[in-house]
Amino acid sequence: MSFEQQVIIVGGGPVGMGLAIDLGQRGIRVVVVEKYLEPQPIPKGQNLTQRTMEHFHAWGAEKELRAARTIPKEYGIGGMTSYGTLLGDYHYDWLQREIVRPYYFTDNERLPQYATEAVLRKRAAELTTVEFLYGYAVTDVQDGVAGVSVKVENRETRATKWLSGRFVVGCDGSTSTVRERAGMTQTSRDHNRLMALLVFRSTELHELLARYPGKSFYNVLSPELHGYWLFFGRVNLGNSWFFHAPVPIGTTVENFDFDAYLHKAVGTKFSIEYDYRGLWQLRIAIADHYRKGNVFIAGDAAHSHPPYGGYGVNSGFEDARNLGWKLAAELNGWAGAGLLDSYDAERRPVFESTARDFIETSIRVDGEFLANHDPKRDREAFEAAWSARAKGTAGEVGSFAPNYDGSPVVCGNSGAQPTALGNHEHAARAGHHLSPLSLVDGTNVYERLGAGFALLSFGADQHDVEDFRQAAEALRIPLAVVDGLTSQHLSRYGVQLVLVRPDQFVCWTADKLSCPADTILRKVIGKEFQA
Q: Applying CB under 6 A, which residues contact ligand FAD?
A: 10-16, 33-36, 44-47, 113, 137-138, 171-173, 177, 197, 244, 299-300, 307, 310-314, 316
Distance CA 138, CA 10 (A): 7
Beta-bridge mates of residue 33: 10, 133
- Of 45 and 526, the one with the shorter C-beta distance to ligand FAD is 45
Distance CA 105, CA 340 (A): 27
- Of 9 and 498, the one with the shorter C-beta distance to ligand FAD is 9
Residue 446 CB, nearest approach to ligand FAD (Å): 22
3-state secondary structure of 415: coil
- Of 305 and 489, the one with the shorter C-beta distance to ligand FAD is 305
94: Cβ contacts below 8 Å, ≥ 6 apart? 79, 80, 81, 219, 393
Do 355 and 284 form a contact (C-beta atoms < 8 A)? yes
- Concatenate the DSSP letters of all residues of 362-399 into one string: HHHHHHHHHHH--TTT-HHHHHHHHHHHHHHHHHHHHH
Distance CA 111, CA 452 (A): 30
Residue 60 CB, nearest approach to ligand FAD (Å): 19
Distance CA 321, CA 503 (A): 6
Residue 65 CB, nearest approach to ligand FAD (Å): 14
- Of 247 and 439, the one with the shorter C-beta distance to ligand FAD is 247
Beta-bridge mates of residue 215: 78
- Of 159 and 474, the one with the shorter C-beta distance to ligand FAD is 159
The C-alpha torsion from 494 through 497 and 502 to 508, rounded to 10°, is -80
Residue 515 CB, nearest approach to ligand FAD (Å): 40
Residue 63 CB, nearest approach to ligand FAD (Å): 21
Query: What amino acid occupies position 179?
Result: R
- Of 219 and 403, the one with the shorter C-beta distance to ligand FAD is 219
Distance CA 342, CA 319 (A): 12
Any idea what DSSP says for residue 16? H
Do 466 and 518 form a contact (C-beta atoms < 8 A)? no
Residue 457 CB, nearest approach to ligand FAD (Å): 36
Do 121 and 49 form a contact (C-beta atoms < 8 A)? no
- Of 258 and 334, the one with the shorter C-beta distance to ligand FAD is 258
Element (H, E) at 194: strand 186-201
Residue 468 CB, nearest approach to ligand FAD (Å): 36
- Of 90 and 280, the one with the shorter C-beta distance to ligand FAD is 280
Helices 361-372 and 379-399 cross at an angle (nearest 10°) of 170
Sheet strand arrangement including 215-221: 91-94, 78-83, 215-221, 230-234, 240-247, 186-201, 273-287, 303-304
Residue 16 CB, nearest approach to ligand FAD (Å): 6
Residue 33 CB, nearest approach to ligand FAD (Å): 5
Residue 359 CB, nearest approach to ligand FAD (Å): 11
- Of 36 and 212, the one with the shorter C-beta distance to ligand FAD is 36
Residue 18 CB, nearest approach to ligand FAD (Å): 8
Residue 319 CB, nearest approach to ligand FAD (Å): 8
- Of 323 and 525, the one with the shorter C-beta distance to ligand FAD is 323
Do 350 and 402 form a contact (C-beta atoms < 8 A)? yes
- Of 103 and 311, the one with the shorter C-beta distance to ligand FAD is 311
Do 528 and 338 form a contact (C-beta atoms < 8 A)? yes
Any idea what DSSP says for residue 433? B
Distance CA 90, CA 105 (A): 34
Burial (CB < 10 A; 0-12, 13-18, 19+), residue 252, is exposed
- Of 302 and 471, the one with the shorter C-beta distance to ligand FAD is 302
